[in-house]
Amino acid sequence: MALGRAIVRRPRVFLLDEPLSNLDAPMRAQMRAEIARLHRRLGATMIYVTHDQAEAMTLGQRLAVMREGAIQQAGEPMRIYAHPANRFVAGFIGSPPMNFFHGTLAGKGNGLSFQTDGGEPTFKLQASTFKVQLDGYAGKKVVLGLRPESIKTQNSETRGQAEPERIVDAVAEVVEPLGPETYLYLSSGPHQFISRVQPGDRISVGQKVSLVFDMRRAHFFDPATEQLIA
């Protein structure tokens, strides 16, 4: 009703503060589509405040991620998703959130690798991708970030393509089938992480799984400042 009264006044700017927070999931999805249609029809600027990153990603043409009143990053939604400026943004944008692993960089140049705290696993890094940004961090603590879709089960498609240094054995603790995709909540030694896999990868709770970590899509953060390194 409040939105209808605002439309009658034909404002140049709308401020929508958590307009869908009290709706159930099906109605939220329907209203997101209605707001998107309304925005295109009116051609007015809409400032949309939300704690739901799904609403922000689907409705926003430009997105500003805020923390304690300060803008952490602003830009196109998919640009922020693919290139988060810091660990807070990386963990906030995306559902499920990005996985984080604490560890140490070893070596230099072409011999650069990332060793997780606890010793295993260790990942060899492609020099062409990370050499310039990470050379100064050799021997130092960093945080590795990988999104769930960058961790795949080793199946007939990935077998033979992955280097041994990128394969991790884990145990499926929780399996969430969602129709077109499945989320696996896994543990490997002291590490817990999430993988997004295809429904054809039939995994059971308690099953041991071999996973391929796509290190080409890795992000590295400074553990002290939380800023993106590479």
Amino acid at 58: T
CB atoms within 10 A of CB 151: 23
- The string of pLDDT tens digits covering residues 22-55 is 899 899 999 999 999 999 999 899 999 999 988 9
For the chain, the domains span: 2-92, 96-230
214: Cβ–Cβ under 8 A, 6 or more apart, which residues?
A: 146, 150, 151, 152, 166
H/E stretch holding 176: strand 167-177
Domain 2-92 matches domain 96-230 at the CATH topology level: no
pTM of structure: 0.87
CA count, 13 A, side-chain hemisphere, 13: 4
173 vs 99: CA distance, rounded Å:
16
Contact (CB, 8 A) for 181 and 165: no
176 vs 34: CA distance, rounded Å:
29
Please name the residue that has the structure tokens 């039939």: 202
For residue 136 the two structure tokens come to 């100064």
Q: What is the pLDDT of residue 45?
A: 93
For residue 191, the cross-strand partners are 188
Q: What is the pLDDT along the chain (230 residues), one digit of tens a residue?
A: 667 777 777 888 999 999 998 899 899 999 999 999 999 999 899 999 999 988 999 999 999 999 999 999 999 999 999 999 999 999 999 999 999 999 999 876 567 888 999 777 888 887 666 766 787 888 899 999 999 999 999 874 555 555 655 789 999 999 999 989 999 999 998 999 999 998 888 899 999 999 999 988 999 999 999 999 98
For residue 95, the cross-strand partners are none
Give, in order, the Cα–Cα distances in Å from 176 to each of 168, 171, 179, 204, 206: 20, 14, 9, 10, 13
Q: What is the pLDDT of residue 67?
A: 96
Q: What is the pLDDT of residue 131?
A: 61
114 vs 102: CA distance, rounded Å:
9
For residue 85 the two structure tokens come to 């400026």
Q: What is the pLDDT of residue 109?
A: 57
Right CATH number for 2-92 from 3.30.2010.30, 3.40.50.300, 2.30.40.10, 3.30.56.10? 3.40.50.300
What architecture (CATH level 2) is domain 96-230? Beta Barrel (2.40)
Q: What is the pLDDT of residue 200?
A: 80
Q: What is the pLDDT of residue 217?
A: 92
